[in-house]
Amino acid sequence: MPGLPERVTIYEVGPRDGLQNEPAIVPLDVKVEFIERLVAAGLSIVEATSFVHPRWVPQLADAAEVVARLDLAGSVPLPVLVPNERGLDRALEAGCTHVAIFASATETFAAKNLNSTLEGQFALFEPTVERALAAGLDVRAYVSMCFGDPWEGDVSIDQVVATGSRLLDLGAGQLSLGDTIGVGTPGHVGTLLDAFASADVAVDRLAMHFHDTYGQALANTLASLQHGITTFDASAGGLGGCPYAESATGNLATEDLVWMLDGLGIQHGVDLASLVATSTWMADQLGKEPASAVVRALGVA
């Protein structure tokens, strides 16, 4: 297909977004092995865990223990989520070099996910980003509910662009646009990306974060590629969901993304067989079938 990039970066979120919604606590050893296997499979960046309040996301309460077991000095960055200065302090103490803040484009989700407001969330992020940058950390920002919100319905493009631009203005290097509940469709993706372009946000500062609830994630990825996006968030095996967003299911599966990129001749650096083996193993650990169609088609433990 004409006009597509030669290479993309897959930003793997399985250990964080993938596991955060799992009800049974995954053992520390399994989490560490999962991350190490993803790195070995060729993922060039792997989001490892979250320094959020352990009561809000009990599955990731062991964030410091996980990070302590990882090779933070290796060539593959292992970012962690931090919602506020307390989270940043914990990430700094653990020796993290890459952090991600996460904002909401809607009032209701800011309340549900951050116990804050659309405006109030910036009071959490401003000092967090300032201190993270001063400490030499790489900072990514997410904005959730970019394509629809389970409580508020449609979300205005202007509100998404305003929220996202403000996060970039704080100094975040990259902005990941989240379809938290997976309701977006390709035309909507195009309209949103055109709006960011009109607001003078360079396309190489944007990443797309699709959940696959309505089966639109790959179609939306293709639309994003056609708009020049070169970073895609994905979760091994299609694990995932947000505990504070009704009806959020798994992320775009990394294997499904890799399959499409291979078909398009777009480079990504991931070894599909090794990734499928990892997701098959992880599904066994969780005692469930992999959500990814490609893992189900190819998967043999």
Q: How far is the CB of 55 from ligand HMG (least distance, A)?
A: 8
Strand-pairing partners, residue 9, are 231
Interaction between residue 87 and ligand HMG (CB under 6 A): yes
Catalytic annotation, pick one of 48, 80, 170, 242 = 242
Interaction between residue 50 and ligand HMG (CB under 6 A): yes
* Cα–Cα distances in angstroms (integers) from residue 159 to residues 32, 153, 163, 170, 255, in the given order: 38, 13, 6, 17, 32
Number of residues that bind Mg ion (CB under 5 A): 1
Interaction between residue 122 and ligand HMG (CB under 6 A): no
Question: Are residues 240 and 212 in contact, defined by beta-carbon separation less than 8 angstroms?
Answer: no
Active site residue 242: yes
Interaction between residue 79 and ligand HMG (CB under 6 A): no
- Residue whose tokens read 């001063």: 134
Question: Are residues 298 and 259 in contact, defined by beta-carbon separation less than 8 angstroms?
Answer: no
- Residue 53's CB is within 10 A of a number of other CB atoms, namely 15
Spell out the alpha helix ranges (H) of the chain.
28-40, 63-68, 85-94, 107-114, 121-134, 157-170, 186-198, 217-226, 254-264, 272-286, 293-298
- What 3-state class would DSSP assign to 144? strand
Name the closest residue to Mg ion (Cβ).
17
Interaction between residue 63 and ligand HMG (CB under 6 A): no
Q: What, of ligand HMG, Mg ion, none, does residue 97 touch, CB below 5 to 8 Å by kind?
A: none
Question: Are residues 233 and 252 in contact, defined by beta-carbon separation less than 8 angstroms?
Answer: yes
If the CB atoms of residues 37 and 211 are measured against Mg ion, the closer one turns out to be 211
Interaction between residue 232 and ligand HMG (CB under 6 A): no
Q: What are 219's two structure tokens?
A: 């179609």
Q: What, of Mg ion, ligand HMG, none, does residue 196 touch, CB below 5 to 8 Å by kind?
A: none
With CB under 5 A as the contact rule, the residue among 10, 14, 15, 17 that binds Mg ion is: 17
With CB under 6 A as the contact rule, the residue among 59, 78, 80, 102 that binds ligand HMG is: 102
The one segment of 25-33, 80-88, 160-168, 287-295 that binds ligand HMG by CB under 6 A = 80-88
Q: How far is the CB of 1 from Mg ion (least distance, A)?
A: 27
With CB under 6 A as the contact rule, the residue among 49, 59, 113, 216 that binds ligand HMG is: 113
If the CB atoms of residues 2 and 23 are measured against ligand HMG, the closer one turns out to be 23
* Cα–Cα distances in angstroms (integers) from residue 107 to residues 103, 112, 243, in the given order: 10, 9, 17
Interaction between residue 149 and Mg ion (CB under 5 A): no
Question: Are residues 102 and 81 in contact, defined by beta-carbon separation less than 8 angstroms?
Answer: yes
Interaction between residue 12 and Mg ion (CB under 5 A): no
Give how far the C-alpha of residue 241 lies from the chain's centroid of Cα atoms, to the nearest Å.
Answer: 10
Task: Name the site residues for ligand HMG (rule: CB under 6 A).
Answer: 17, 20, 50-53, 56-57, 81, 83-84, 86-87, 90, 102, 113-115, 142, 144, 178, 180, 209, 211, 242, 244
Just list the catalytic residues. Answer: 242
